[in-house]
Amino acid sequence: MALRSFFVGGNWKMNGNKGILGELILSLNTSSLQDDTEVVCAAPSIYLDFVRSCLDPRIGVAAQNCFKVSKGAFTGEISPAMIKDCGADWVILGHSERRHVFGESDELIGQKVAHALESDLGVIACVGEKLEEREAGTTEEVVYAQTQVIAENVKDWGKVVLAYEPVWAIGTGKTATPEQAQEVHEKLRVWLRANVSDDVADSVRIIYGGSVTGANCRELASQADVDGFLTEAGLQA
């Protein structure tokens, strides 16, 4: 198996303020980080500059969304160029809340992925099925279709992390078992092997973004195709 360093993304969502984030940053800066684990914090866009200037440079900073072009008459949006200008190197795209609360389509997410990568941002690209889709037995169909649109927009997979988030296990108290997570991660890797390349299948980190807790993180992390987490840990309301 190719070496895939563990990747932990903390998605702060729309939480915190300068005081609370300042405290969180302080505790992150003084915590011991493992050299072989990449840690990235996704901050609210208005705090990207603040977070980047306070956070230990060993920890990456991500935006939680961006638009598909570099500038223009798009009131309220931010571009990858602006994210980079604030010193952040990553963006989360296709998060289930963007898909299902804000109605972003696969197509728009694909365009955003393409533009973010062209702008030299790393992309944490999220896929995942809703409860009714899992219950209807269409999990594979849904995550394959989402992954396909992302893949069509990626030229260089070196800066892409794929995040599998079963939507039914986010903030609902329901948790996927480590086996359920591994099953989908393995299928996504097989998908990459068949539809992209062996190299990409071996090297791309597939991280898990369901409910990750202190109680289940070890067992999740021990699954062969789970290469990290996308969590909300640290900032629950």
Ligand X SMILES: *[C@@H]1O[C@H](CO)[C@@H](O)[C@H](O)[C@H]1NC(C)=O
Question: Would you say 180 or 195 has its CB closer to ligand X?
Answer: 195
Question: Would you say 52 or 189 has its CB closer to ligand X?
Answer: 189
Query: Which stretch in 10-18, 79-87, 157-165, 190-198 sits in contact with ligand X by CB under 6 A?
Result: 190-198
Among 111, 119, 195, 216, binds ligand X (CB under 6 A): 195
Main-chain phi, psi angles of 234, to 5 degrees? 100, -20
Q: What six digits make up the tokens of 113? A: 């992925």
Using CB positions, name the residue nearest to ligand X: 194
Please state, in angstroms and rounded to a whole number, the distance separating the CA atoms of residues 120 and 217: 31
Among 49, 77, 114, 144, binds ligand X (CB under 6 A): 144
Question: Would you say 131 or 145 has its CB closer to ligand X?
Answer: 145
Q: Give yes or no for residue 148 binding ligand X (CB under 6 A).
A: yes
Q: Give yes or no for residue 190 binding ligand X (CB under 6 A).
A: yes
Distance of CA 166 to the CA centre of its chain: 13
Q: By the 8 A CB rule, do 88 and 124 touch?
A: no
Please state, in angstroms and rounded to a whole number, the distance separating the CA atoms of residues 178 and 171: 17
Q: By the 8 A CB rule, do 161 and 124 touch?
A: yes
Return residues touching ligand X (CB under 6 A). 144, 148, 190-191, 194-195
